[in-house]
Every structure is written in C-alpha cells, then in structure tokens.
Amino acid sequence: MEALINIVLLTLLAVITVGIMFQRNLFAVVVLAGIYSFLMASVLIVLDAVDVAMTEASVGAGVSTVVLLGTLHLVRTIEYPSKRSALIPMLVAVATGAALVWGTIGLSPFGTADNAIHKHVAPKYLADSVKETLVPNVVTSTLADYRGYDTLGETTVIFTAGIGVLLLLKGRRRRGHIADEDSKVGRTA
Amino acid sequence: MEVLQRFADHYNYVVTIFLMVAGLYIVIARGNLIKKLVGLSLFQTSVYLLYIEPGKIIGGTAPIIDPAFKVYSNPLPHVLILTAIVVGVATLALGLALVVRIHEAYGTIEEDEIFSREGEE
C-alpha cells in the first residue's frame, strides 16, 4: 500500500514538472512550484521523513513561494521564447539521465531492510539516542546533539545569505528614492 | 517480466532522475532567470528524494522511538536533508535578489536580451 501511494504521488510530481517546463507564464510557474512542494511533502510523509516533510511544506511551499511572488511583483511575469536551440540542453539532460539510470540499476530495490544504508551508523543512533539524549525523536537528537556542528554551519549559511539579500535590496531602495526625486525635479522644472 | 519487476522496484529512482534532468534542462535551456531558479530548486528537491528514498523501509515507521514499534526508517538522511532544504531556500532568496538587481540594471530578466545589450555597450 505504501509503495502504491508512493508511485501515484511520484507520477503526479513528474506531471507537475512537465507543466513547469512548458509553462511560459511565470505566475503559473510559481503556483505550480508551490503545488510541487506540497506534493513533495506528501511523498516525504510516505517515506517516513515527517520532520523533512514539515520543513518542506513550510519552507519549500511557503517561504519559497512568497519570495518568488515578491520577485514577480518587481519584474515582468511573461517568459519570452529563447532564440537558442534546445537540442544541446536536451542532449545533455538525456545523457545525464541515462548515466544516472545506469548507475541506479545496481541499487537494491526500494524499501528493503538489507539496503547498505541501514547497516552503517544508523542502527547505533536508533539504539542509543534515547539513552544518551533522552529525546524520543531520533532526527531531533541527531540534528541538535550528534551533528550540532552541521546545524551551526547551516545557520552561518542562512545568515550570510540574509546579509547578501539585505545588501542587494537596500541599495535598490535608495536608488529608487533618488529616481523618484529626479522625476519630481524634472516635473517642477 | 523480470525487466518490468526491476522497473517497478526502481520506479522511485527513475522518477527522481527524471525530476533531476528536468531541472537541469530548465537551467540550461531556458533564458528567463526566474525560470532558471525554479529549475534549480527542482534539481535540489530531486536530491532530497535521492537521499531519503534508500532510507525508507516498507512496513517501517518514522524514527520516533516508541515501545509499540520495532522497525524504523533510517533517520540519518532526514537530518542531512533538513539542513539542505533550509540552505536551498537561502540560495533561492539570494538568487532572486540578484535577479531584481539585474532587472534594475538592464530592464529585463531574459538572458538573450541581457547579452545583446552587453554587446551594444
């Protein structure tokens, strides 16, 4: 049953992706991207990644969509057809896809417990984390305790990106005011 | 029949790879900068799937320890991807801020027009 729900949701994801590829109205693209993120969150729930699903629904479907819509407010919302040929990108994409499919043939089937990923450190976390950290959610204890430095690095990245966005958009407001004043001066003169 | 069974077993990976190359195609082929960034986030989300799919065990449950359950899916990819999602939205926001600045400087967000304007100057 899990596998069946998964297959249906993944097929829907692929269909939405095709829609994003061919849609030229950027507003529709952003809405489709929001749908894509919610579908992705559903897939993640089926894959037992509930924490990731919550983050994807709030950050991927929420924040990303808001940021994209905010940008669309400032720029044009229609995409013009590109003059370049689509042949070379298509070839690159198909070649990459073929190589990746060839690479995944050797992976063990989806959902089996004897997958190599389940035999390394994961059993240790599952067995010991409650004893060591008293947190029943293993994802939380791993994120905050065992791999706290990863999270510190992540916060650094977000901080840097936030500063970058602020610097880029701060100059914009100032220039906008100057442009407004110039146009006012022009009118009175 | 065996090929069909193999395809069903690996259907997840096939769809993940499709999402990945679709994102790659959009990034390379489309000239609109916002479309490119959406393609880039498609590529990123496909990587989330690629990490989390092998960690799933059919019949298992979310890795929240409780005496009622015995089999849990692998928590480690979840932790890594939580970090990746947040970093992904940070890079998207930075990219969009750059798009706004490019639009200010050139009056367009189409790559072709930007290049032709560069040529004129």
Can you give the CATH number for the domain in which B80 is found? 1.10.287.3510
Of A61, A79, A97, at which residue does a domain stop?
Answer: A79
In total, how many domains does chain B have? 1
Q: For residue B116, what pLDDT is reported?
A: 86
Q: Is residue A107 part of a domain?
A: no
| Nearest-CB residue to B38 (from A29, A110, A142) | A29
First to last CA, chain B: 62
Asked if residues B75 and A49 have their Cβ atoms less than 8 Å apart, the reply is: no
**Looking at chain B, which residue has its C-alpha nearest residue A168?**
B97
| pLDDT tens digits along B77-88 | 999 999 999 999
For residues A1 and A75, state if they share a domain: yes
The torsion defined by the Cα of B40, B45, B51 and B52, in degrees rounded to 10, comes to 180
Residue A185's pLDDT is 45
Residue partners of A13: CB distance under 8 A and separation at least 6: A36, A39, A40, A43, B15, B19
Answer yes or no: is A101 within a domain: no
pLDDT for residue A108 is more than 90: no
Which candidate in B3, B12, B103 is best for mutational testing of the A interface (most A CBs within 10 A)? B12
For A17, the closest of B19, B35, B37 (CB atoms) is B19
The verdict on residue A53 lying in a domain is: yes
Which ipTM did the prediction report? 0.91
pLDDT at B107 over 50: yes
Q: Is residue A91 part of a domain?
A: no
Rounded CA separation A102/A116 (Å): 19
Find chain A residues with C-beta within 8 A of B60's C-beta: 48, 113
**What is chain A's Cα-based Rg?**
23
Note the pLDDT of residue A189: 38
Residue A75 lies in a domain: yes
What SS3 state is found at B110?
A: strand
Range of the domain at B106: 2-120
Q: Are B87 and A158 an interchain contact pair (Cβ–Cβ within 8 Å)?
A: yes
Q: What is the domain extent for residue A181?
A: 133-189
What mean pLDDT do residues A163-188 have? 64
Residues 41 through 100 of chain A touching chain B, CB cutoff 8 Å: 43-44, 47-52, 55-56, 59-60, 63-64, 67-68, 70-72, 74-76, 79-80, 82-84, 86, 88-90, 92-94, 96-97, 100
pLDDT attached to residue A12: 95
Residue of chain B whose Cα is closest to the Cα of A155: B87
Q: Which residues of A touch B29 (CB under 8 A)?
A: 82, 84, 86, 89-90
pLDDT above 90 for B108: no
Alpha carbon of B82: minimum distance to chain A alpha carbons (Å): 6
Which residue among A79, A109, A125 closes a domain?
A: A79
Residues A5 and A68 occupy one common structural domain: yes
Tell me the pLDDT of chain A averaged across its residues. 86
In this predicted structure, the answer to whether residue A188 has a pLDDT above a threshold of 70 is: no
Task: Indicate whether B44 pLDDT > 80.
Answer: yes
Residue A89 has pLDDT above 60, yes or no: yes
Band of residue A131 on the pLDDT scale cut at 50, 70, 90: confident
Smallest Cβ–Cβ distance between A157 and the set B10, B14, B87 belongs to B87
- Is any Cβ of chain B less than 8 angstroms from the Cβ of A15? no
Contact yes or no for A93 and B45 at CB 8 A: no
The reply to whether A105 falls in a domain is no
Task: Indicate the residue of B49, B89, B100 with minimum beta-carbon distance to A64.
Answer: B89
Question: What is the tally of structural domains in chain A?
Answer: 2
Least confident of A146-150, B2-6, B45-49: B2-6
What is the rounded average pLDDT of the residues A8-22? 93
Contacts of B56 in chain A (CB under 8 A): 47-48, 110-111
Sequence-separated (6 or more) residues with CB below 8 Å from residue B89: A59, A60, A63, A64, A67
Rounded to whole angstroms, what are the CA distances from A176 to A169, B73, B93, B97?
Answer: 10, 52, 21, 15
Is residue A118 one of the residues assigned to a domain? no
Tell me the pLDDT band of B114, cut-offs 50, 70 and 90.
confident
Strand, helix or coil at B56?
coil
Tell me the residues of chain B between 62 and 101 that have a Cβ less than 8 Å away from chain A: 62-66, 71-83, 85-94, 96-101
Distance CA(B113)–CA(A62), nearest Å, equals: 31
- pLDDT tens column, A152-175: 999 999 999 999 999 998 876 666
Does residue A12 form part of some domain? yes
Contact A90 B101 (CB under 8 A): no
